[in-house]
Amino acid sequence: MLKIKFYFFLLLTSASYSQDGWTNFADENEINIKITENTKKFKVNYLEFVSVWDSKMTPNEKYEYLGGIKNLKIYFKNKQIDEHVNLPDNIGLGYVLMRFYDYNFDGFLDFTVQVDCGGSCYSSYYLYDEKLKKFVYQKEWNISIQKINKKEKLILTQPEGMVDDRSLFRVNDDKLIKIKRINLKSK
């Protein structure tokens, strides 16, 4: 009987941990837009994006050239607020995948540009800076998100490769603060 109580306790504590504000990031309402040479304008929420495609942006041995977004202008209420140049299709998909979400939990829409896809896909993060009134590239945000906790502003990364190791980060404004590395070795 004591053994059954112990297992019941374990089940309750693990269930409460998994429901304690953690969400699988795949279940979130991330907006995905594929930008191709035919994409000229698109809107996401209250922002309008105007893109110019360059089909010969990057020389490539396999495909001769890879394309990409030569110029991306961002408008709010018909006023240009930002501009980004040279966002290449590094993967050779024939499009640049942009994703939109409030990644740093500050209430403002941010975006990513997918830059690599191997075991996990990685993106460049552009977080909206309210003081500068523009999207700022975040070099330190070289992560692939598995779970988030919005209340605590926590991000758990995807495992890297065949080893189940992840990192837990706290988001402070636009900075990622590594709390710990989690290494779950299979037996």
The pair of structure tokens assigned to 60 is: 């490539």
* CA gap 124, 8 in Å, rounded: 43
Q: How many domains does the chain have?
A: 1
Q: Is 15 inside any structural domain? A: no
Number of Cβ atoms within 10 Å of the Cβ of 134: 14
Q: Is 135 inside any structural domain? A: yes
Whether 74 and 135 have beta carbons less than 8 Å apart is answered as: yes
Q: Is 1 inside any structural domain? A: no
The pair of structure tokens assigned to 14 is: 């693990």
In which domain, by residue range, is 163 found?
20-183
pLDDT tens across 136-179, in order? Answer: 999 999 898 999 999 999 999 988 766 677 899 999 989 999 99
Position 29 pLDDT exceeds 80: yes
Q: Is 14 inside any structural domain? A: no
* CA gap 60, 44 in Å, rounded: 32
State residue 27 phi and psi, 5-degree precision: -85, -5
Q: Is 172 inside any structural domain? A: yes
Position 16 pLDDT exceeds 80: no
Q: Is 6 inside any structural domain? A: no
CA quadruple 141, 147, 153, 157: dihedral sign: negative
Q: Is the pTM of this model over 0.85?
A: no
Q: Is 55 inside any structural domain? A: yes
* CA gap 153, 133 in Å, rounded: 22
Number of Cβ atoms within 10 Å of the Cβ of 98: 24
pLDDT at position 142 is: 87
pLDDT tens across 92-135, in order? Answer: 889 999 999 999 999 999 999 998 877 667 899 999 999 999 99
Q: Is 98 inside any structural domain? A: yes
* CA gap 156, 148 in Å, rounded: 6
